[in-house]
């Protein structure tokens, strides 16, 4: 054991920090009105990242609220497992494809973290994701699947919310709850997110 040393994941706190100016920039990049609400995620377009859970959770909310948008930023490391065509068909069939954005990776991911209203990661399995730490450092209001690695980052109800893995109904309820939070409580959770990260 004297030959081993544990080095925790971490990010640059001076680089990943809240920046309210990026809210406008994200909406400009997506080509949507400035008063739009945005749920965002940063994850490869593959099965284990839980995009189907996010889709099933958000679809009814998009139909109810034309000002709500979903932005899925990510890469396609394995083309044969690319979920985008399937997801876009689900959104098209529901008549909300104009509210969904899958632009690929963002060169400065801070624009996503600082610009969205809710940051969501629905991974089925995950190591300790740098994206989860970066999001918390930027003060995101975060909703993460309840898996061991995310429990290291989120204290449920303190600096974000956890929902059962693969449970779209619970995620939808968590999104509705997060949007309904009084401004002061939401700001307090964002401050706790950065502090704990």
Are the beta carbons of 40 and 71 closer than 8 angstroms? yes
* Structure confidence at residue 183 (pLDDT): 93
Q: Which residues neighbour 113 within 8 Å (Cβ) at sequence distance 6 or greater? A: 16, 22, 40, 42, 119, 134, 135, 137, 138, 140
Other beta carbons within 10 Å of 194: 17
Whole-number Å distance between alpha carbons of 123 and 48 = 6
pTM score: 0.92
Mean pLDDT of the chain: 93
pLDDT digits (tens, 9 = 90+) for 65-107: 999 999 999 988 777 788 888 899 999 999 999 999 998 888 9
Under-70 pLDDT residues of the chain: none
* Structure confidence at residue 77 (pLDDT): 74
């Amino acid at each position: 054991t004297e030959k081993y040393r544990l080095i925790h994941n971490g990010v640059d706190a001076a680089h990943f920090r809240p920046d309210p100016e990026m809210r406008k920039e994200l909406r400009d990049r997506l080509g949507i009105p400035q008063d739009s609400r945005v749920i965002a995620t940063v994850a490869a377009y593959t099965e284990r990242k839980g995009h189907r859970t996010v889709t099933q959770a958000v679809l009814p909310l998009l139909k109810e609220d034309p000002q709500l948008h979903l932005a899925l930023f990510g890469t396609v490391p394995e083309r044969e497992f690319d979920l985008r065509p399937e997801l876009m068909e689900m959104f098209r069939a529901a008549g909300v494809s104009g509210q969904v954005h899958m632009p690929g990776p963002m060169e400065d991911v801070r624009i996503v973290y600082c610009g969205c209203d809710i940051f969501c990661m629905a991974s089925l399995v995950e190591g300790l994701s740098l994206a989860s730490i970066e999001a918390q450092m930027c003060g995101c209001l975060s909703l993460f699947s309840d898996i061991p690695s995310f429990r290291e980052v989120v204290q449920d109800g303190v600096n974000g919310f956890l929902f059962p893995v693969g449970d779209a109904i619970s995620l939808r309820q968590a999104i509705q709850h997060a949007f309904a939070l009084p401004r002061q409580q939401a700001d307090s959770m964002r401050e706790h997110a950065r502090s704990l990260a």
